[in-house]
Amino acid sequence: MLLSNALNLAATMAGLSASDGFEPPTIGEFFPDAVFFAGTPFALNRIMLIRILIMVVILVLFSLWTSKFRKAYKNQQFVPSRFQLMGEISLNFVRKTIAHEQLGEKDGDRFLPLLATTFFIVLGMNITGIIPSLNIAGTSVIGLPIVLAVAAYFTFIYAGIKKHGAHFFKLALIPEGVPVVFLPLVFLIELLSTFILRPVTLALRLTMNMVAGHLLLVLCFSATQFFFFSSIVEGFTKAFGAGTFLFGFVFSLFEILVAFLQAYVFTLLTTVYIQLALADEH
């Protein structure tokens, strides 16, 4: 509601109103009609199809890289080809820069499957927001961020319990050195922040970034369309279209940055949560 209000406001500020033939984007953007299996729990709309497409792209790309790895291993060929090196750099970004940096080599490699999967899913799904003809991020509908956040949630709880047993909850909820008077309050705050807000913020941060990015781009480009081609706009006013187009172009570039950044942030936070669960003190 708030979001559509804001958009309405933006449209009004641009000197337009909905009745003038300009269609500002709505959150309906994120709920397109089902293409296949409509009405069933397996209904596939455009965004779900984009997700499956990206999944296939990731499967193909990493299969190619994996076969390169296998071949290199089999032939004892230790100088990677350029293509293989790209795969190594991608995977090492997650492995070294995120996992090893936060968790150390042993635990880093232990949790690498989840972290790598999370990173490449989020990155792949984010980037579709600016790919022409796809034009919407696979992560802009909350289902996928929720699945990833839940996976992160259970993983860090698993990591904590595996390391500390039931003691993990005491470590997480009752920090040492807190005066007894404040303990109930601290307990509540820790409970809220660790076990409720963490997954919620993970999922929301990602979704809202993608939603906002998408709406901004749609707003810019549909305004451009309106200024250039609407019969209501005449003469000099059409020049506004160039401005909105430029704005949209710059924001497209910005969205690339956001796509990488959000993938990095999501994975890094997952790692940090695991690291905190493994730590001996909080």
Partner 1 sequence: MISRIIHSEAVPNILLPATPDLIWSSVVFVILLTFFWFRVLPNFKKTLDARTDAIEGRLAEAERISAEAAKQTAAMASAQEDSRAEAAAVREQARAEGVAIIAELKEQANAEAARITATAKAQIEAERQAALVSLRAEVGTLAIDLASKVVGASLQNDKVATNVVNDFLADLEGGKQK
Among 16, 98, 103, 121, binds partner 1 (CB under 8 A): 121
Of positions 10, 109, 158, 252, contacts partner 1 by CB under 8 A: 109
Residue pair 126/113 in contact (Cβ under 8 Å)? The answer is no
Q: Give the type of residue at 217.
A: L
Q: Which residue shows structure tokens 């250039």?
A: 228
Q: Tell me, what amino acid is at 95?
A: R
- Residue 211 touches partner 1, criterion: CB under 8 A: yes
Q: Determine, following the binding rule CB under 8 A, whether residue 21 of this chain makes contact with partner 1.
A: no
What's the min distance (Å) between Cβ of 66 and partner 1?
5
Asked whether position 173 contacts partner 1 by CB under 8 A, the answer is: no
Shortest Å distance, C-beta 276 to partner 1: 22
Stretch that binds partner 1, among 62-70, 158-166, 175-183, 220-228 (CB under 8 A): 62-70
Is the Cβ of residue 190 or residue 199 nearer to partner 1 in the bound state?
199
Region near partner 1 per CB under 8 A, out of 33-41, 177-185, 224-232, 269-277? 33-41
42 binds partner 1, rule: CB under 8 A: yes
Q: Which of 16, 103, 116, 171 binds partner 1 (CB under 8 A)?
A: 116
Which member of 16, 24, 218, 263 binds partner 1 (CB under 8 A)? Answer: 24
* Shortest spacing between CB 268 and partner 1, in angstroms: 18
Question: Looking at 52-60, 173-181, 264-272, 274-282, which segment touches partner 1 (CB under 8 A)?
Answer: 52-60
Name the minimum Å distance from CB 36 to partner 1.
10
Give the side-chain half-sphere CA count within 13 A for 111. 36
C-beta of residue 245 within 8 angstroms of C-beta of residue 221: yes
Alpha carbon distance, N-terminus to C-terminus of the chain: 39
Taking residues 225 to 264 in sequence order and writing x for each that binds partner 1 by CB under 8 A, - otherwise, the string is ----------------------------------------
Q: Using CB under 8 A, list all residues that contact partner 1.
A: 1, 3-5, 8, 18, 24, 26-28, 30-31, 34, 37, 40-45, 48, 51-52, 54-55, 58-59, 62-63, 65-66, 69-70, 72-73, 76, 78, 87-88, 91, 109, 112-114, 116-117, 120-121, 141-144, 146-148, 151, 204, 207, 211
